[in-house]
Amino acid sequence: MRSVRKVAVWLFLAVERVLTAQIPLSPDYHKESLDPYPYFERDPRQWDLDEPHAVNATGNLVLETVNSLLQHWANTRYRIGHTIVPGIVPVGTILYHGAISGSHIPTALDWVAMEPEHSIVFCGGTVKLGCWHATFAVTHPMKVLYFDGSSAATIPEGTMDTQDLVAWSEMKPEWVDNEARRIQDLCKWALKNGVNGLVRMEINFEIMICNFTSHMDVISFSNLDSPRLVVDNPTTEDPNTLHHAFEVLHSASWRENYPGETRIILDYSALISFYDTDLVPSLVPRRVGLERWDHRVAGISPEDIERVKDRLAQMLERPAVTASAAWM
């Protein structure tokens, strides 16, 4: 009997060790997993769940953001991104691009969509010539960097802040609409750090591709009927435009909640959070008294920007840890 209990306790401890070893954000990850259960003695009955969390505490926000990465609804509601995560787009993933001109891969930096309903929106062309729609397959594991929040919404409220900081080491509100400059400078930084794609959330998830030939092959070019969208007038009653709008919203709805966009495999152990008060202490006073959706990254100090960029470069240097089992 005794030995059974011993085995049970051992099993419990082993499971607990595995669970605690899954804390991806702890800088003391290795040290902690070797320590003999520092939290084991704590009495859970001491917890008072009615007690509000400590002023300035951000652990809850880190966990909430981690728990909603690559999910459309949570990142629509909390649109100002506070997380940057490296990841991989695995071999065999299919990506889509609506080309304007002809059946050739983009010669400049450009975007791909995760769904054809999304890329077709960008598929221009005259009624006579139609539009060219490209389908790509990833041929080598493609390293990407994901910016959470509504990170492709070019609005002045702060959705671009984390990208500004990576591209330009400062906030550039005057360039909020300057997507050409943004992709150019983000890609310059990305290629230097071994990253070929920047993942963002628009009406659905999309990837800025820094090099169209290094990690993917064209599977097909289709000459489609031009979608002929009336995009300048959102109240349009043009049935063609409404039909496309429905299609793209419908495809986005597949990623609305957990598990979200599963074809992009994030490396949670390399995640960078602007709610990390050790990494970004300058934002703590900026958040005092604010609701979560008023939290901004603007106002971060130059020292903290440098620290974030150093940490990011460091994280991108290590081999990616992309567990196939989802632990969240």
Ligand X SMILES: *[C@@H]1O[C@H](CO)[C@@H](O)[C@H](O)[C@H]1NC(C)=O
CB nearer to ligand X: give 53 or 318: 53
CB nearer to ligand X: give 249 or 284: 284
Q: What tokens appear for 95 in the block?
A: 């990506």
CB nearer to ligand X: give 217 or 256: 217
Smallest gap from Cβ 103 to ligand X, in A, equals 20
Residue linked to tokens 């030995």: 3
- Alpha helix segments (H runs only) across 193-289: 239-253, 284-287
The residues that bridge with 137 in the sheet, in sequence order, are 94, 217
Smallest gap from Cβ 278 to ligand X, in A, equals 13
- Which CA distances in Å does 33 have to 20, 26, 28, 211? 7, 10, 8, 40
Smallest gap from Cβ 52 to ligand X, in A, equals 12
CB nearer to ligand X: give 200 or 287: 287
Smallest gap from Cβ 102 to ligand X, in A, equals 20
Answer whether 119's CB lies under 8 Å from 96's CB. yes
Smallest gap from Cβ 205 to ligand X, in A, equals 23
Smallest gap from Cβ 83 to ligand X, in A, equals 21
Answer whether 200's CB lies under 8 Å from 147's CB. yes
Helix axes 161-168, 179-192, angle to 10 degrees: 60
Please give the Cα distance from 158 to 176 (Å, whole number). Answer: 9
Q: What is the DSSP string of 85-108?
A: EEEEE-TT-EEEEEESSSSS--SS
Answer whether 169's CB lies under 8 Å from 300's CB. no
Residue linked to tokens 């750090």: 193
Smallest gap from Cβ 287 to ligand X, in A, equals 8
- The 3-state DSSP class for residue 197 equals strand
Positions that interact with ligand X (CB under 6 A): 55-56, 191, 211, 213-214, 284-285, 288
CB nearer to ligand X: give 232 or 278: 278
Which residues have CB under 8 Å from 143's CB, separation 6+?
86, 87, 88, 194, 195, 196, 197, 316, 320
CB nearer to ligand X: give 154 or 282: 282
CB nearer to ligand X: give 21 or 105: 105
